[in-house]
Amino acid sequence: MKKLISVFILGTFFLISLSAGVTTAYKKGKGPLKVTKNTADILEFYFSGGTRGTYAEKQDFIWKPGLIAISVDGAHSSFFRHPITVTTVDDKSYGGMAIKQCKKKSGQECYLFANGYKIVWDNGSDKKKRKLKKKDIKSGKTLALLTELGFYGGDNQIKKTNKTNVNKKEVKETDNDIVKKLKELNDLLKNGVITEEEFIKAKKKLLN
């Protein structure tokens, strides 16, 4: 599991302020965004300090969310952790590094999604609600909050996809049934069982 998570964690950085996120001039995301299930799971891991969700595991040291960048298709991300105890000042451009790594992995444009516990990607949702509360994250509400804010479809998105697949299957079966009946009508006409007029009427009724 640690090896899997390391793919998503680019590193650890040190900041002077423990309560705020990182001061950055890099581009924040703006506009509609729907993250995939995997990205939503990574976000839950990120916001919870690695203690909640699919990728949760025992952490060697306590940390909190630093910066995370997400691709425009919502399928890729890169983030940095923020240690609870700060002992060294580091002035590296972590926002730019996260975006660069995300772009390299995805081959698409990436933008900052969150700075600390604050979602900075502006999709038109309530700005105040985009500042997540630690108590909600600890109680396992991250995915529900992402859904409420419009960043994740959750179970509804999955159900919608399944329903679409079922409808396509039903349409295909209906089309096959019509072709079969048209062939039967044609055979009846050729064998003289029905007249040309009866054939035309039956065909019209079937196609309608």
What tens-digit pLDDT sequence spans the chain (208 residues)?
A: 443 443 444 444 433 333 333 344 468 999 999 999 999 999 999 999 999 999 998 888 899 999 999 999 999 999 999 888 766 666 778 888 999 999 999 999 999 999 999 999 999 999 999 999 999 999 999 999 999 999 998 655 544 444 444 444 444 444 556 667 777 777 777 777 677 787 777 777 766 6
Looking at the fold, whether 131 and 166 belong to one and the same domain comes out as: no
The 8 Å CB, 24+ separation contacts for 99-102 are: 99/26, 99/27, 99/69, 101/10, 101/69, 102/69, 102/70, 102/71, 102/76, 102/77, 102/78
What's the pLDDT at 162? 47
What's the pLDDT at 90? 67
What's the pLDDT at 60? 84
| CB-based contact 106:76 (threshold 8 Å) | yes
Looking at the fold, whether 80 and 123 belong to one and the same domain comes out as: yes
Looking at the fold, whether 108 and 70 belong to one and the same domain comes out as: yes
Looking at the fold, whether 142 and 166 belong to one and the same domain comes out as: no
Looking at the fold, whether 72 and 109 belong to one and the same domain comes out as: yes
Last residue of a domain, one of 130, 152, 174: 152
Contacts of 188 (CB under 8 A, 6+ apart): 194, 199
Looking at the fold, whether 143 and 42 belong to one and the same domain comes out as: yes
Token pair, residue 153, equals 């479809």
Domain that holds residue 191: 157-207
Looking at the fold, whether 125 and 172 belong to one and the same domain comes out as: no
Looking at the fold, whether 60 and 130 belong to one and the same domain comes out as: yes
Looking at the fold, whether 88 and 28 belong to one and the same domain comes out as: yes
d(CA 171, CA 105): 38
d(CA 194, CA 191): 8
Is residue 141 packed enough to be buried (19+ CB in 10 Å), middle (13-18) or exposed (0-12)?
middle
Last residue of a domain, one of 122, 137, 152: 152
d(CA 92, CA 41): 27
Looking at the fold, whether 70 and 131 belong to one and the same domain comes out as: yes
Looking at the fold, whether 39 and 97 belong to one and the same domain comes out as: yes
What's the pLDDT at 17? 33
Q: Are strands 77-83 and 9-12 parallel, antiparallel or unpaired?
A: parallel
3-state secondary structure 42-106: HHHHHHCCCCCCCCCCCCCCCEEEEEEEEECCCCCEEEEEEECCCCCCCCCCHHHHHHHHHHHHH
Q: Total domain count for the chain?
A: 2
Last residue of a domain, one of 152, 172, 198: 152
Q: In what order do the strands lie in the sheet with 63-71?
A: 9-12, 77-83, 63-71, 110-115, 118-119
Looking at the fold, whether 171 and 92 belong to one and the same domain comes out as: no
What's the pLDDT at 22? 39
What's the pLDDT at 39? 96
Q: What is the DSSP letter of 27?
A: P
